[in-house]
Amino acid sequence: MADVLPLVEARLRSALGEPDARAAVTFLGTDRIEVLRFTEGDVVRYATLGMSAQPMADPTAVLADPVKGPRAELVLSVRPGAADTDKVLRPLAVLAASPQVEGLIVAPGASLDVGGALWPGAPFTSVLVAESGGLVEDLELDAPADPVRFLPLLPMTPNEAAWKRVHGAGALQERWLNGGTDLRDPLRKSVPLD
């Protein structure tokens, strides 16, 4: 099968424009993960590139299938200026490497914790993985490979993450919607959860 990453980058460029910065991180025993930054008006988007090079495998499987299995890249959108959000590059690369490092399958509705602030001063230590198909359309690959999904990440405060564990992703997203929460605000407060 042809290298997937050039196709993924082309899809990101067609949806988000030309990246104005990129950084690469390599963790011991993993493939290189890049994070591309796209700036458009009052929104900065960070997209991973490298997570989809291999399909995510069930950690209980004896042998990982080199072709079949879910593939994804992560996309985070924030408003620039209020915080040093460019420091999110390493945490994003860590999340993108988690399928290789931890055997994790990243799917909509999942919570991913970075173990610290997403960027300096951020009230967020984790993200909610949202459904693909909105901002960047899924990338179909030749059969039998699964398509590459571009999964939006929604930053969560520790209180929101704890509430989501009890009530579910859909209930938290409904709270955000009903509260008029600006999920792109890099310094936003937690939505009322009582």
Over its length of 194 residues, how does the chain's per-residue pLDDT go in tens digits? Answer: 458 999 999 999 999 999 999 999 887 777 889 999 999 989 999 999 999 998 998 767 767 777 888 999 999 999 998 889 999 999 999 999 999 888 889 999 999 999 999 999 999 999 999 999 889 999 999 988 899 999 999 999 999 999 999 999 999 999 999 999 999 999 999 999 87
> How far apart are the C-alpha atoms of 127 and 31, rounded to whole Å?
23
Cis bond upstream, residue 144 (ω within 30): yes
DSSP for 43-99, written as a single string: EEEEEEESGGGS----TT-SS--SSSS-EEEEEEEE-SSSS-GGGGHHHHHHHHHHH
CB-based contacts of 41: which residues, under 8 Å, 6+ apart? Answer: none
> How far apart are the C-alpha atoms of 110 and 127, rounded to whole Å?
8
83 in Cβ contact with 186 (< 8 Å): yes
Q: Please state, as a whole number, how many other Cβ atoms lie within 10 Å of the Cβ of residue 45.
A: 22
pTM value?
0.93
Residue type, 97: A
58 in Cβ contact with 102 (< 8 Å): no
